[in-house]
Amino acid sequence: MGFFDKLKKKVTTQTDSVTEKFKEGLTKTRNSFVGQMNELFAQYRNVDEEFFEELEDILISADTGVSTVMELIDELKHEAKLRNIKQSKELAPVISEKLAEKLDKTGEDTSLNIQQNDMTVILFVGVNGVGKTTTIGKMAHSFKQEGKKVVMAAGDTFRAGAIEQLDVWGERVGVDVVKQQAGSDPAAVMYDAIHSARSKKADVLLCDTAGRLQNKVNLMKELEKVKRVISREIPNAPHEVLLVLDATTGQNAMNQAKTFQEATDVSGIALTKLDGTAKGGIVLAVRNELDIPVKLVGLGEGVDDMQPFDAEHFVYGLFKELVEENSENENR
């Protein structure tokens, strides 16, 4: 059974609603990506230098990053030789196989680290405007759906209107928000929030922070302090530090991941705004070079469009048409 077949089988046996979300959210991404791929296969029937050059352009246009692309192309060239692939079409499953491999390192668990008998603290970090507060709102909603008691901490005390924004989410979702005045110390907010959440017997505490560019040393220090305060109050917490990345971000995402990882020991990535035409190829590079798993993806503006990341779904979402077409071919 070919890779596409396996992928299809695996994905379709899982719950349809999730598959649907991925399919729908990735429509635009897929259309342009698969469109380009199909064109490539149509234009270059043979696997040769020109074919690889064109493929390189397509991958780069998805923000995959120069070094990751070069690596990928090298591996593909090697595979092509090894499996004696001459027709470009035959390489299609190999390409998606390699992509999936890079996104999902051998069946690693990318689910969130949720505490069974204690409060789970999740800290959200990232640069300005990536969608931290919105992600928290959506997460609060989904935890609440699961019947968990959720508290949110308004740790963005800097940006005008940020506290109000989280407040609105709190009302919308029906979740308590712990807040202080604008301009107050975010670490103090966290301290408050932890104690307040404890006394409310919350299951999950979601901590918002102000967006900051990763090259601002002082602001990164502030973030370190926020994390330190959380760890001091609850050993092992925060149980997750999620770096929120905007899917439209280019190569700077690498710098972001690296610096935020140094400061706060990021445990996973939440990739937002993937419902545009952006392909979020940068997560490949981040996964590949820094080994931070993607744990959540934002596939739309709806409150339940934040989904756990699943590499197979993601690749299936990207290659849907190719998968269907090819698995037919493979079966023939």
Partner 1 sequence: MAFEGLAERLQATFDKMKGRGKVSEADVKEMMREVRLALLEADVNFKVVKKFVNDVKERAVGQEVMKSLTPGQQVIKVVNEELTALMGGEQTKIATAQKSPTVVMMAGLQGAGKTTTVAKIANHLRKHNNRKPLLAAADIYRPAAIDQLETLGKQLNMPVYSLGDQASPVDIAKGAVEQAKEEHCDYVLIDTAGRLHIDENLMGELQEVKQAVQPDEILLVVDAMTGQDAVNVAESFNEQLGITGAVLTKLDGDTRGGAALSVRQVTGVPIKFAGVGEKIDELDEFHPERMASRILGMGDVLSLIEKAQTNVDDERAKELEKKMRSAEMTFDDFLEQLEQVRNMGPLDDLLQMMPGANKKAMKNIQVDESQIGRVEAIVRSMTKHEKDNPSVMNASRKRRIAKGSGTTIQDVNRLLKQFEDMKKMMKQMTSGQKGKKKGKGGFQLPFM
SS3 state of residue 84: coil
How far apart are alpha carbons 278 and 191 in whole angstroms? 38
Cβ proximity to partner 1, 93 vs 170, nearer residue: 170
Shortest reach from residue 331's CB to partner 1, in Å: 34
129 binds partner 1 (CB under 8 A): yes
* 240-246 sheet: strands from edge to edge: 176-178, 150-153, 204-207, 120-125, 240-246, 268-272, 294-298, 306-308
CB of 314 to partner 1, least distance (A): 17
- CB closer to partner 1, 166 vs 194: 166
Residue 294 β-bridge partners? 269
What is the pattern of x (binds partner 1, CB under 8 A) and - over residues 43-62?
Answer: --------------x--xxx
- How far apart CA 18 and CA 278 sit, in angstroms, is 20
Chain centroid, CA 124 distance in Å: 13
Return the number of the residue (162 or 294) whose C-beta is nearest partner 1. Answer: 162
Cα(313)–Cα(51) distance, rounded to whole angstroms? 27
Q: Of the candidates 104, 203, 240, 246, which one interacts with partner 1 according to CB under 8 A?
A: 246
- 136 token code pair: 């928290």
Binding mask 161-190 for partner 1 (x = CB under 8 A): xx-xx-xxx--x---------x--------
Strand pairing report for 268-272 and 240-246: parallel
What character string, x for contact with partner 1 (CB under 8 A) and - otherwise, covers 249-288?
Answer: xxxxxxx--x--------------x-xxxxx--x------
Virtual torsion, Cα 82, 86, 89, 92, nearest 10 deg: 20
* Site map (CB under 8 A) of partner 1, residues 26-45, x = contact: --x---x-------------
Using DSSP, state whether 118 is helix, strand or coil.
coil
Q: CA 182, 186, 190, 192 torsion: positive or negative?
A: negative
Residue with Cβ nearer partner 1 (93 or 131): 131
Query: According to CB under 8 A, which one of 47, 94, 127, 269 is a site residue for partner 1?
Result: 127
CB of 162 to partner 1, least distance (A): 8
44: left (phi over 0), alpha (psi -120 to 50) or beta: beta
Interface region with partner 1, contact rule CB under 8 A, candidates 91-99, 107-115, 208-216, 323-331: 208-216
Select from 49, 160, 199, 332 the one that contacts partner 1 (CB under 8 A). Answer: 160
**Residues 210 to 239: which contact partner 1 by CB under 8 A?**
213-218
Output 96 or 256, the one with its CB closest to partner 1.
256
CA distances from 284 to 35, 109, 316 (A): 20, 17, 15
Please give the residue ranges that form the binding site for partner 1 (CB under 8 A): 28, 32, 57, 60-63, 65-66, 127-131, 137, 158-162, 164-165, 167-169, 172, 182, 213-218, 246, 248-255, 258, 273, 275-279, 282, 289
